């Protein structure tokens, strides 16, 4: 091979010598060889670099979020329903034959308005036993009326004290001596005591009505005649309100105590929500509540009471759950929830904790690691495992007490493909 190259070079030199180009050829031919070798070497290096780049893994595409400081509100979210506070079931005071009830649910009624009419069965309304029972009903209704009067006195005293206390707290609030929360609690106590007084007066009117009914049954209303059917017993409405339900619409024989109608005031509504007992222990009286998804604007309420007794209910998955009712008063103006009715479904968000300046990240960014929690922090395109200490958490965000600083970029929904030191990129 070298001999062939030497002969070819000698021949080229001879031709170049004869043409007068020998010095130029001597310089050009070695440069051409080095250029070819350089090009071959460059191509080889490019091929190796391409292979290396092809084997380098691509950065994982991840969803990211930023740790920020701001307000955080922890709520217990459950479905509930609206119901009338003061509902009264009008029942038959005596056994007899009930005429068909012409009222429908939603009809307005006035105190004393005729609701139902009962005519006697022979001889049920005239025997001695019925008369003795009627006398006992009169005594019981009289005692109930006295009890209602005592409750009115107690409610009036409570309201008077609450109003004075609210006035005093208002003056202290204007002077900056108390907090805004204490002032609002005093105002709420005044409104609640006013509502309790109205409820007590409502109960007193019902007790008076029951007494009138018992006395009317005792008198037998023998002088009353209707359509030639002999004596009859008219059942009037105990209060002003609205018919909520008609429990016995058709004509027929009824026994004493048979429920006939439900009457109540739909302007006095409350919200009842059943929550898990593990959540109920965190709910304090007077806790703020947001109420929405009922078909109208968002309403505000306050927790009045967490009932002391729980009950068992099957979940949608068939699991037995211990739940307890939470009673909520509406504090929004009545014009905002005027179309809300008895039994309507609502969604309640009960506030159990609230912070104004909290370092928070999405709840989906933290995960269990041993006995604690951790998150992946992104630094210059690399995921770094960061142990964190978390505090309160809502359905969306979680409070970070240690482990991260404001502005830190973290991975949301980390998969098992991500590890400490993995290269990542934001989607």
- Residues 309-322 have pLDDT tens digits of 999 999 888 899 99
The predicted pLDDT at position 223 comes to 40
- CB-based contact 35:377 (threshold 8 Å): no
- CB-based contact 341:381 (threshold 8 Å): no
Sign of the alpha-carbon torsion through 140, 146, 150, 153: positive
The model's pLDDT over 94-106, given as tens digits with 9 standing for 90+, comes to: 888 898 999 999 8
Nearest to 76 by CA among 323, 309, 270: 323
Q: Is the pLDDT of residue 20 over 60?
A: no
Percent of the chain with pLDDT over 90: 39
The predicted pLDDT at position 95 comes to 84
Among 183-187, 302-306, 309-313, 398-402, the least confident range? 183-187
Q: Is the pLDDT of residue 281 over 80?
A: yes
Give the residue-averaged pLDDT of 31-45.
Answer: 76
355-390 burial, b at 16+ Cβ within 10 Å, e below that, comes to eeebbbbbeebbeeeeeebbbbbbeeeebbebebeb
Q: Does 323 or 184 have the greater pLDDT score?
A: 323
Query: Distance between CA atoms of 44 and 411, rounded to whole angstroms?
Result: 40
Among 119-133, 229-243, 388-402, the least confident range? 119-133
Among 109-118, 205-214, 251-260, 385-394, the least confident range? 205-214
- Average pLDDT, rounded, for the chain: 82
Tokens 């960061």 belong to 386
Give the residue-averaged pLDDT of 349-370.
Answer: 93
Tokens 């809502």 belong to 394
Q: How far, in Å, are 154, 232, 321 from residue 225 at the CA level?
A: 43, 7, 57
CA atoms within 13 A on the CB side of 79: 5
The predicted pLDDT at position 52 comes to 61
Query: Distance between CA atoms of 52 and 29, rounded to whole angstroms?
Result: 35
Q: Is the pLDDT of residue 230 over 80?
A: no
CATH class of 62-71+356-426: mainly beta
Q: Does 132 or 384 have the greater pLDDT score?
A: 384
- CB-based contact 237:113 (threshold 8 Å): yes
The predicted pLDDT at position 397 comes to 93
Nearest to 424 by CA among 385, 367, 373, 374: 385
How does strand 60-66 pair with strand 424-426? Answer: parallel
The predicted pLDDT at position 27 comes to 52
Q: Is the pLDDT of residue 355 over 50?
A: yes
73-81+267-355 CATH, one of 2.40.30.170, 3.40.50.1820, 3.40.640.10, 3.40.50.970: 2.40.30.170
* Count of other CB atoms within 10 angstroms of residue 77: 14
| pLDDT interval class at 3 (50, 70, 90) | very low
State the chain's maximal CA–CA distance in angstroms: 158
Q: Which residues contact 338 (CB under 8 A, 6 or more apart)?
A: none
Query: Distance between CA atoms of 66 and 70, rounded to whole angstroms?
Result: 12
Q: Does 282 or 201 have the greater pLDDT score?
A: 282
Report phi then psi at 59, rounded to 5: -60, 140
Query: Distance between CA atoms of 355 and 200, rounded to whole angstroms?
Result: 39
The predicted pLDDT at position 58 comes to 76
Domain positions in the chain: 1-38, 62-71+356-426, 73-81+267-355, 88-264
Nearest to 262 by CA among 95, 404, 116, 405: 116
Nearest to 361 by CA among 409, 319, 296, 322: 409
The model's pLDDT over 59-81, given as tens digits with 9 standing for 90+, comes to: 888 999 999 999 999 999 999 99
The model's pLDDT over 165-184, given as tens digits with 9 standing for 90+, comes to: 878 778 777 777 777 777 77
| pLDDT interval class at 6 (50, 70, 90) | very low
Nearest to 269 by CA among 197, 343, 162: 343
The predicted pLDDT at position 123 comes to 52
Q: Which long-range contacts (CB under 8 A, 24 or more apart) does 222-228 make?
A: 226/117, 226/119
- CB-based contact 173:183 (threshold 8 Å): yes
CATH class of 88-264: mainly beta
* Count of other CB atoms within 10 angstroms of residue 420: 11
């Amino acid at each position: 091979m070298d001999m062939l190259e030497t002969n070819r070079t000698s021949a080229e030199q001879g031709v170049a010598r004869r043409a007068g180009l020998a010095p130029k050829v001597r310089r050009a031919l070695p440069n051409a060889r080095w250029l070819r070798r350089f090009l071959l070497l460059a191509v080889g290096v490019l091929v190796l670099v391409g292979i290396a780049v092809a084997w380098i893994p691509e950065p994982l595409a991840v969803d990211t979020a930023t740790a920020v400081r701001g307000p955080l509100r922890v709520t217990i979210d459950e479905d509930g329903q609206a119901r009338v506070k003061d509902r009264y079931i009008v029942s038959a005071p005596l056994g007899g034959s009930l005429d068909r009830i012409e009222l429908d649910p939603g009809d307005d009624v006035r105190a004393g308005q005729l609701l139902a009419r009962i005519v006697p069965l022979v001889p049920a309304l005239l025997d001695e036993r019925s008369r003795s029972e009627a006398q006992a009903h009169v005594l019981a209704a009289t005692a109930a009326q006295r009890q209602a009067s005592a409750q009115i006195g107690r409610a009036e005293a409570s309201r008077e004290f609450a109003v004075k206390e609210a006035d005093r707290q208002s003056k202290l609030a204007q002077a900056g001596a108390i907090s805004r929360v204490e002032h609002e609690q005093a105002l709420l106590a005044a409104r609640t005591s006013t509502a309790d007084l109205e409820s007590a007066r409502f109960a007193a009117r019902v007790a008076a009505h029951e007494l009138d009914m018992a006395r009317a049954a005792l008198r037998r209303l023998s002088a009353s005649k209707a359509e030639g059917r002999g004596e009859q017993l008219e059942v009037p409405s105990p209060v002003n309100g609205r018919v909520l339900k008609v429990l016995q619409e058709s004509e027929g024989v009824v026994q004493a105590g048979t429920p006939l109608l439900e009457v109540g005031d739909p302007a006095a509504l409350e919200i009842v929500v059943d929550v898990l007992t593990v959540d109920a222990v965190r709910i304090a009286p007077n806790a703020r509540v947001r109420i929405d998804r009922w078909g109208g604007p968002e309403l505000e309420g306050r927790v009045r009471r967490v009932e002391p007794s729980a009950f068992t209910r099957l979940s949608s998955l068939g699991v037995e759950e211990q739940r307890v009712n939470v009673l909520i008063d509406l504090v929004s103006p009545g014009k905002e929830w005027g179309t809300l009715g008895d039994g309507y479904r609502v969604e309640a968000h009960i506030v159990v904790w609230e912070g104004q300046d909290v370092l928070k990240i999405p709840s989906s960014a933290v995960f269990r690691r041993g006995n604690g929690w951790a998150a992946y922090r992104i630094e210059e395109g690399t995921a770094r495992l960061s142990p964190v200490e978390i505090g309160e958490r809502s359905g969306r965000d979680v409070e970070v007490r240690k482990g991260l600083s404001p502005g830190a970029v973290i991975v949301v929904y980390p998969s098992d493909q991500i590890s400490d030191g993995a290269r990542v990129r934001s989607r």
